[in-house]
Chains A and B, each alone.
Chain A
């Protein structure tokens, strides 16, 4: 996994993405704010959504309570 290690800790790029999501944002906005490539952001947000750390609504991602606790 690119964002969440086997022991449950977040990678540095995952923390950067979550940090941006204090306010809901699109993958394009997250890519711009973090400097990460867009494909990495889309892939990472999908992984973190599956883990329950973020949720997607109408193309914008926001932190869940579990995601907030990870920061």
Chain B
């Protein structure tokens, strides 16, 4: 990577799934917040490219719309962009004035790109001054459980974010996996057996099996 590409962006690796999410302390629209302030709750940390931009505005309205559903699931939201806290405040007030929608969650003012660098939110090939549309799902123990990266031009799908939370929480609660396009109420996948004996027992266990390695059950 050229010097030009990395200018202003600390060259750090992306965070990894199932490892502790990098700790930070950041100025937000709700005061100075640390990641550890969310311990005991699920957290969706997400970035957007910039305040007062069209796709981001539609996303913020959409995040506000799913906020009650996230709260029911014990999930908090925390936004981030490389803008000042004054810009965030002005944008939130503008959204409320123009659309009537209140943004109930804090937004990090990451002017020094510290959190963006920690989480690999800046994709220099897209933009050296804006964060891409990243989503990090962090569990109540502070473990990074899922990541989604969208480009600047594509707004995120809120139903997919809710579905992802439902899937992770179902996995934790029942020690199962979830198949493609799973949604709450659908059958779940029983973890595949890891020994020959278990495989032979599995097909007799009364699950709905295509074969020993793909068995589903109702919850």
Residues in A lying within 8 Å of B, measured CB to CB: 1-3, 28, 37-40, 42-44, 46-47
Chain B, residue nearest A44 (CB): B31
A37 to B67: give the CA distance in the assembly, Å: 13
A39 to B36: give the CA distance in the assembly, Å: 8
Chain B, residue nearest A50 (CB): B32
Chain B residues with Cβ below 8 Å from A47 are 31-32
Chain B, residue nearest A41 (CB): B37
Chain B, residue nearest A42 (CB): B37
A23 to B180: give the CA distance in the assembly, Å: 51
B30 within 8 A of A: yes
B41 within 8 A of A: yes
Interface secondary structure of B, over-half rule: mixed
Residues in B lying within 8 Å of A, measured CB to CB: 30-34, 36-38, 40-41, 76, 106
Known A39-B38, A42-B34, A42-B37; 9 more pairs at CB < 8 Å: A1-B32, A2-B30, A38-B38, A39-B30, A39-B76, A43-B30, A43-B34, A43-B37, A46-B32
Shortest distance in angstroms between A1's beta carbon and chain B's nearest beta carbon?
6
Chain A residues with Cβ below 8 Å from B32 are 1-2, 43, 46-47
Would you list the 7 A-B pairs with minimal beta carbon distance, nearest first?
A2-B31, A39-B37, A42-B37, A43-B33, A43-B31, A39-B38, A43-B37
